[in-house]
Amino acid sequence: MLSFISRVRKTTNPPTVEKTENPLRVGLLGASRIAPDAIIKPARCHEDVLVTVVAARNKSRAEEYAHNWSIPKFYGGESGYQDLLDDAELDVVYIGLPNALHYEWTMKALTAGKHVMCDKPIADNEEETRKMFSLAEEKGLVLLETWQPRFHPAIKRMKDIIDEGTLGKITKMYAHFGLWGNVMFKKDDIRYDYKLGGGALMDLRPYPINYMRFLSASEPTVQSAEAICRSENVDRRMETELLFRDSIPATVIVDLSLDGWGPFKLFPQWVKIALRVECEKGSVEIWNYPLPSLWHSITVKTQDGRRRVEKVYKPTQGKGEEWWSAYRYQLESFVDKLRGRSPVAWRTAEDSINEMRVIDAVYSKVMTLFELLRVHLLTSYGVSEWPGFAPYLLLWSLRASDTFGRAMAPAVSSFNCDSSSGWVESFVSYLGTAFYC
C-alpha cells in the first residue's frame, strides 16, 4: 500500500529536473483541463522539454493559467491563438482545444512550421485526418495524435501475452468504458456539445477501439451500432459490434453517464474500465486500461483453471520509471521521434487515419432505441398483431430525425439523435427494454 501511495503521489506530482542547454519549447493552445496531466507535468520531469507559453481566448484566463502552472509567457484575446503560432521561439504546439477545433488549429500550427501534439480525437472524420498528416509530411514536421495508453508498458505486456501464443488465437473481445458523467462533468461540458465535436464515441472511443486494433493487429468492420442520446446529435452512450480479421467478434460500449441501479436508479454503478480478450485456451483481461499508470491489473486465465495477475509500470527495454505516467512515456516517444531517434512506441499517420475511418463507419451504422424497437416490432410481430402499439408507431413515424446517418464532411460530422424527455421517453425506453432485450 505504501509503495502504491508513493508511486501515485510521484505520478501526479513528478519532480522537476534540470533541462538541457537547448530543450524543445512547447506552447499550449488552449488553457485546458487536460494539459496539466498531458504535457505540463510530464515536461517537468523531461530534461529536453520546456513549456514556455499558453494561449487562451480570454486574456485573464490565460494569465491566471500561466501563473498557476508557472508558465513564463501567455497570449490572450481574439488573436491569442495565432500570436502563439507566430512565436518564433516555439518548437512544438500542444493542442488541447475542443474536438471541433483540432483540425483548424492543427493545420494552422503546421503551416506555421510547428511540430504538433494534438489531443484525441485528432479530427472529426477520416478526410480531415488525411489532410492533416499530408500537410505534416509536406512540411517535414512531426504530428502525433495523443493517446497515452498506447505508450505505457502495460499495454505492451498484454500484447506480448497474446502474441506468445500459449493462449491460442483470439476468439472474442469485449470492452466497456463508462463514467459517472453526471458527477464528473457539468451540464454544459464540451463533451455534450455537438458544435464542439462532443459525444461518447468521439470522447471515449480511442481507448477500447484502439486497444483492440493494436492487440489484434487488424482493422475492424462495423457490424452494428446503437446509440442512446443526451441531446440532439450527441450520443451519451454507444454500443458497437465489430468484426476483426479471422471473423473475430468484438463488442465496445462507451458511456459518458452510467445509469444508476436499484430503486429509481438511485445507486451509482462502479466505473466500467475493463477490456477482455478471449482466446482458444484462456483469456486475458486488463482493468483500468484508460489510466494504467495510476493502477491496473492484467489477469490471465487458462483452460485448466490457472489464474495469474500481473502489473507492469516499468518497461523491460528503454527508459522509464515505475512512477512515470502514460503521458510521460508518450512524451518520451515524441521527443525521440522529433530528435531523430527510434521511439519505443509510436502512433503512425496510418493508425490515426484508420481509427477515424472506424469512427465514421460507426456513426454511419448507428441506430437509436426508437429504430431498434420499430424494426423489432415490424419484423417479429407485425403491426396488425399489435394494434396497441399503433400510437407509438405513429409517433415514431413523425419523428423523422430518429433515422440518421453521420455526414462525412470536413466540418463537425453530424447525425440526428432523439432528445425527447419525460413520460414518452420513459415509456419507449421501457418497451425497448422489454421487447428488444
Active site members? 120
d(CA 71, CA 93): 14
- How far apart CA 155 and CA 43 sit, in angstroms, is 22
Which grid cell sits at 212?
Answer: 483492440
Q: Which stretches within 1-90 are classed as H helix? A: 2-12, 35, 41-44, 59-68, 80-85
Q: Which of 187, 174, 178 is nearest to 258 (CA)?
A: 178
DSSP string, 410-430: SS----------SHHHHHHHH
**Can you read off the three cell numbers belonging to residue 215?**
492487440
In sequence order, what are the residues at sequence separation of 6 or more whose Cβ sits closer than 8 angstroms to the Cβ of residue 191? Answer: 181, 185, 198, 199, 200, 203, 256
Sort 139 into a burial class: Cβ within 10 Å, 0-12 / 13-18 / 19+.
middle
CA distances in angstroms from 76 to 66, 81, 107, 118, listed in the order given: 11, 8, 20, 20
Pairing of strands 170-178, 272-279: antiparallel
Q: Rg of the chain over CA atoms, in angstroms?
A: 23
In Å, what is the CA distance from 184 to each residue of 236, 262, 355? 14, 21, 26
The Cα 67–Cα 273 span in angstroms is 35
Strands of 221-231's sheet in order across: 307-310, 297-302, 282-287, 272-279, 170-178, 248-255, 234-244, 221-231, 366-368
